[in-house]
Amino acid sequence: MGETPLAPEPEGQVSDAVKGNWVDHRAPAWSRPYLRLSRADRPTGTWLLFFPCLMGLSLAILSDNILTLHDLWTVVACFAGSFLMRGAGCTWNDITDRNFDGQVERTKSRPIPSGQVTVKGAVIWMLVQTLVAFGILLTFYPTAIYLGIAALVPVMIYPFAKRFTWWPQVFLGVAFNWGALVGWTAHTGSLAWPAVVLYVSGITWTLFYDTIYAHQDKEDDALIGVKSTARLFQEQTPKWMLGFLIATVSLMGAAAILVTLDRSPLSLVVALAGPWAMGWHLTWQLRVMDMDNPDSLLKLFRTNRDAGLIPLLFFAIAYFV
């Protein structure tokens, strides 16, 4: 018997989209280019933006030992805001990078360089997403609202960072982990040191996982003159990533200690187990990483969704012990 022919890829599918994703197979045809522009077909980034929000909220709840229905709304609002602002940020990134993306194998199929969406259409789509996210933000405390608005600054700067620094991943970390500050203040109404320490731990985590991501494009980036930590570190990448791993676990552990000092010893131990377990996941990533295999690198990058979920589970348990 002959082999069953493979089903053709959906028209306009982006090369690094998750296979079988809902955008390419279930979304209305007219919406697909815009949802691809928002990376809805590549959801890992949304989780990586959402988890710092949950971590900030979780540590705030551990800090004052108060859990209310408003916190449930905060979770829903942060998820919606993460989806929308990740979409708006990625749209902005594709607008500013449209000339670069057409020269990189992995990104030339994106909606703007492939002609699925015009620049004008992308700008309108970006504004729509931003305005809806702002409406959600207005349901928070004033301090959280101000922090949410301030997050637009690193989001706007990030796409240009790879043009002037070898450390664009720092700018991504600053933008992607802002939710740790917003999640904390959405619960408490004010900012405090544990949230700041958690925020910095998120930046070092981003340096870890986005260096993995950047190794996919290092050859194309070198040809067009785009900078990244992958190109900067080269063969020394594992040593640098080990440093980011240690910093992430240490800083997140310090934040957990700060919020559990007045709780039971068991609560402190469980909360600390979260960063520790996450560290083992990152250690596994470091051990199996193949810096010259783009497909493997993309799969490994996506596992950071699971890495971010680990400390959240321990923080939740710590509240009840």
Which pLDDT tens digit goes with each residue over 2-32? 444 445 567 788 877 888 889 998 999 999 9
Q: What is the pLDDT of residue 6?
A: 46
The Cα–Cα gap between 294 and 273 comes to: 32
State how far Cα 257 lies from the chain centre: 24
Whether residue 97 is predicted with pLDDT greater than 50 in this model: the reply is yes
36 neighbors 15 (Cβ within 8 angstroms): no
Q: Which amino acid is at 301?
A: F
Cβ neighbour number for residue 138 with a 10 Å cutoff: 11
Q: What is the pLDDT of residue 8?
A: 56
Q: What are 244-267's pLDDT values in tens digits? A: 999 999 999 999 999 999 999 999
The Cα–Cα gap between 130 and 128 comes to: 5
Question: In this predicted structure, which of 41-45, 252-256, 310-314 has the lowest mean pLDDT?
Answer: 41-45
Mean pLDDT, rounded, for 73-95: 96
255 neighbors 194 (Cβ within 8 angstroms): yes
pLDDT band of residue 98 (cuts 50, 70, 90) is: confident
Per the prediction, the chain carries an average pLDDT of 93
**Cα–Cα nearest to 197, from 46, 60, 47:** 60
Burial 60-70 (b: 16+ CB within 10 A, else e): bbbbeeeeeee
The Cα–Cα gap between 123 and 92 comes to: 8
- Our CA angle for 176, 106, 285, nearest 5°, is 55
pLDDT band of residue 87 (cuts 50, 70, 90) is: very high
Q: What is the pLDDT of residue 109?
A: 85
Does this model's pTM top 0.95? My answer is no
Q: Which residue has the tokens 């552990």?
A: 253
Q: Which amino acid is at 311?
A: P
Beta-carbon contacts of residue 274 (< 8 Å; ≥ 6 apart) = 252, 256, 310, 311, 312, 313, 314, 315, 318
Question: In this predicted structure, which of 8-12, 174-178, 228-232 has the lowest mean pLDDT?
Answer: 8-12
Q: What is the pLDDT of residue 9?
A: 63
Q: Is 167 helix (H, G, I), strand (E, B) or coil?
A: coil
